[in-house]
Amino acid sequence: MKKFVSIVLASMMALSVAACAAQPAAAPAAAPAASEAAPEAKTFKVGICQLVQHDALDAATKGFRDTLEAEFGENVVIDEQNAQGESSTCATIINGFVANEYDVIMANATPALQAAVAATTDIPILGTSITDYATALNLADFSGTTGINVSGTSDLAPLDVQEDMILELVPDVKKVAILYCSSEANSKYQADEVKKFLEEDGIAYQEYTFADSNDLQSVVTTAVSDCDVMYIPTDNTVASNMTIVSNIAGPASMPIICGEENMMKSGGLATLSISYYDIGTETGKQAIEILKNGADVSAMPIAYAAEPAKKINKAYAETIGFALPEGYEVVEP
């Protein structure tokens, strides 16, 4: 009997094993659903309004563009427009940027910055090629940040050192002609500062201002007849018309001290100048901080260029019979 029971139990166990073997293998756990594709990176829209085409402003715009495109690649759309020297056109361009809800506006030169500030209090605005933001924006208590939707970079070189260059290069100077466009607020700011330094050194001067390029030739002709050295601040109208200035001052052997290098290359003698490409690059870095990291433009300090360099234009020096001084980088346009 025990043997029979053993046989039955063995048979039952065998059937049980067989039944288990016949069961289909457990399905593997379902793979988690493929995660949704990562959202595409945001494409930023940036508007550039440049007042006028000349080498300095062009270099600042290029530095800005290069920096943004290196950071964002195809994820930044840059709308670059030039106002051809017309402040009213700056306003039209900027209003278009505002209507299209651009993420950042870059204003290259003071009239472009002023147009941008008049057009929006919401969109971050970055200026470049601005000499003095307090003057440009009429800020009474400026201390490095604007407190509004504006920051940017300055092209201001040390004006006291520029004035020192006049004495350094022309030690027997008797009267300095200060030439600038009366409609450019930052040019007037520089002229006023340089006048203070000239007064401290006991050097006579005369301002020669003009409303637009149509008056420039006659004004320069008068300045050349009355003075023996010319100083020109970073003035966009003069920068676009340096050939007119040099064609009159050169034959009169008049040294011209310029506020920036590209003006000097176009027909001046010497400058203490910054790199406009570099300040454009710095402005681009500020834009990245705003677009990528959400930086508050109103609290972003105005940035300044690296140490400026003394430079002299060899071709103009030869034109006026001026010996190349020591301590200056010689530039051959």
pLDDT of 124 reads 98
Query: CA 150 to CA 126: how far, in whole Å?
Result: 6
pLDDT of 152 reads 98
Q: 195 and 315: one domain?
A: yes
pLDDT of 3 reads 38
Query: CA 82 to CA 97: how far, in whole Å?
Result: 13
pLDDT of 300 reads 98
Is residue 248 one of the residues assigned to a domain? yes
Query: CA 144 to CA 51: how far, in whole Å?
Result: 24
Q: 224 and 320: one domain?
A: yes
What is the bridge-based pairing of β-strands 309-313 and 270-273?
Answer: antiparallel
Q: What is the H or E stretch that residue 115 is in?
A: helix 110-119
How many Cβ atoms sit within 10 Å of the Cβ of residue 276?
Answer: 28
Q: 316 and 209: one domain?
A: yes
Q: 169 and 151: one domain?
A: no
User: Within 13 Å, how many C-alpha atoms sit on residue 141's CB side?
Assistant: 2
Rg from Cα positions in the chain: 33
Nearest to 130 by CA among 115, 147, 120: 115
pLDDT of 38 reads 52
pLDDT of 1 reads 39
Is residue 15 one of the residues assigned to a domain? no
Q: 319 and 194: one domain?
A: yes
pLDDT of 25 reads 44
Q: Which backbone phi and psi does 10 adopt, to 5 degrees?
A: -65, -40
Number of domains observed in the structure of the chain: 2
Q: 261 and 286: one domain?
A: no
Q: What is the H or E stretch that residue 78 is in?
A: strand 76-82
Three-state DSSP state, 27: coil
Query: CA 138 to CA 134: how far, in whole Å?
Result: 5
Q: 266 and 287: one domain?
A: no
Q: What is the pLDDT along the chain (333 residues), one digit of tens a residue?
A: 333 334 333 443 333 433 434 444 444 444 444 445 555 678 999 999 999 999 999 999 999 999 999 999 999 999 999 999 999 999 999 999 999 999 999 999 999 999 999 999 999 999 999 999 999 999 988 999 999 999 999 999 999 999 999 999 999 999 999 999 999 999 999 999 999 999 999 999 999 999 988 999 999 999 999 999 999 999 999 999 999 999 999 999 999 999 999 999 999 999 998 999 999 999 999 999 999 999 999 999 999 988 899 999 999 999 999 999 999 999 987
Contact 50, 79 (CB under 8 A): no
Structural domain including 181 reads 159-273+309-331
Three-state DSSP state, 229: strand
pTM of the model: 0.82
Give all strands of the β-sheet with 125-130 in edge-to-edge order.
Answer: 76-82, 44-50, 104-108, 125-130, 150-154, 303-304
Is residue 26 one of the residues assigned to a domain? no
Domain at 140, CATH number: 3.40.50.2300
Q: 56 and 138: one domain?
A: yes
How many Cβ atoms sit within 10 Å of the Cβ of residue 189?
Answer: 20
